[in-house]
Amino acid sequence: MLNRPVPEVTFKSRVRDESIGGDNPFRWQDLASRDVFRGKRIVLFALPGAFTPTCTTEQCPAYERSYDDLKSAGADEVYCLSVNDAFVMYQWAKHLGLSKIKLLPDGSGDFTRRMGMLVKKDHLGFGQRSWRYAAVVDDGVVTGWFEEPGINDEGTDDDPYGESAPEKVLEWLKANPKQGNGSKRR
């Protein structure tokens, strides 16, 4: 994916809307990937699933803790993507007490598939999920790539986590600052 544009897809999200009233004041809102990534430097990290062990106890909390450092190093925003629906992602963020990073629900796996990161996790009963990776996306183009080793569909891995850790992304951001008015590095 390095030096390639991110896929153009529509994320199905839920946003709070007090005008709805009641116990569940949320409405559906389509979020185009081009709007997420256009004109900005985005740190994107993807993981196999909400409420799963490594994602919940390590990766997502680490990015939440590193958010201010990533922003100081030039990221405009930090997004977590998972092949989960908007309801699951909302409850997971609430469970983790997330207040800084933003979550992208890739419920159908369209973005993940087109990134080349959709894997089968049938051995765990998960179905299709994202392989663990992180990326720096400058104005819609992947300029930094951090993929965990051993991508596979058979479950022949120990759910690696290290290459996609926020420390690696932060180191890259510091070595590759934004140039001029745009986000693209030269």
Catalytic residue numbers read 55
Question: In terms of C-beta density within 10 A (0-12 exposed, 13-18 middle, 19 or more buried), how is residue 76 classed?
Answer: middle
Helix and strand numbers (H, E) in the chain are: 6, 9
Pairing verdict, β 77-82 and 102-105: parallel
Tokens of 65: 């803790």
Residue 110 · residue 117 · CB < 8 Å: no
Residue 55 · residue 82 · CB < 8 Å: yes
Element (H, E) at 181: none
Strand partners, 67: none
Name the DSSP class of 58. I
Q: E strands within 17-165?
A: 26-32, 41-47, 77-82, 102-105, 118-120, 128-130, 133-138, 141-147
